[in-house]
Amino acid sequence: QTWGSSNDFLGAMFARIFLEVGWTNEFLKQTTDGVLSERGVSAGLKAQIQQFRAEARFLRALAYWHGVDLFGPIPVVTVNNPTPPKQNTRQEVYDFIVSELIAIQPDLPSAGAGTYGRATKEAASMLLAKVYMNAEVYTGTPHYDLALAELTNVIAGPFSL
């Protein structure tokens, strides 16, 4: 495996990251409260869609983590910023990932029956822990204490061996 622009796997990974980001952004655009109201979506389904929106944002944060970890500075593309003027720094990507994961945790379900393969509070804590573990590489400042706090949340979850 050679790390360079001629490596098709690296090009495919970069493309896949931003394909996932694009899909997430389109889903978020199509599921705003205003769009759902225009389409006559029931209150019960709207509540369920709020959880799906949080799960989609988790997947986008995961894609950005893969991107910043593999490629360093990458553009952060969101619904509000669909065509970024520049690549963002690793610090900016890190800050975006952390803020997204913290913001969505209340809307994610707790791990348990019916959540297999879904983004849960514990999955968000695990991803936060991984991001915090690498904070020194991304930002120059270690955040091992924050990683430990998130891992403690995961360990205290409903899991067993």
Q: Buried b / exposed e across 29-55, counting CB within 10 Å, b at 16+? A: eebeeeebeeeeeeeeeeeebeebbbb
The model's confidence at residue 35, banded by pLDDT at 50, 70 and 90, is: very high
**pLDDT at residue 2 is higher than 90:** no
pLDDT of residue 24: 96
pLDDT of residue 36: 95
pLDDT of residue 85: 66
pLDDT of residue 53: 97
pLDDT of residue 28: 97
* pLDDT tens per residue, range 50-75: 999 999 999 999 999 999 999 999 99
**pLDDT at residue 17 is higher than 80:** yes
CA 45 to chain centroid, in Å, comes to: 23
The model's confidence at residue 157, banded by pLDDT at 50, 70 and 90, is: confident
* Token pair listed for 8: 């098709």
When computed from its CA atoms, the radius of gyration of the chain, rounded to whole angstroms, is: 17
* pLDDT tens per residue, range 75-133: 999 998 877 668 999 999 999 999 999 999 999 998 888 888 899 999 999 999 999 99
SS3 label, residue 91 = helix
pLDDT of residue 86: 85
* Token pair listed for 127: 């991803």
Q: Find the angle CA(130)-CA(114)-CA(146) to the nearest 5 degrees.
A: 20
pLDDT of residue 1: 65
Model pTM above 0.85: yes
* Token pair listed for 117: 């393969």
- Quickly count: other Cβ atoms within 10 Å of residue 72's Cβ: 13
pLDDT of residue 147: 97
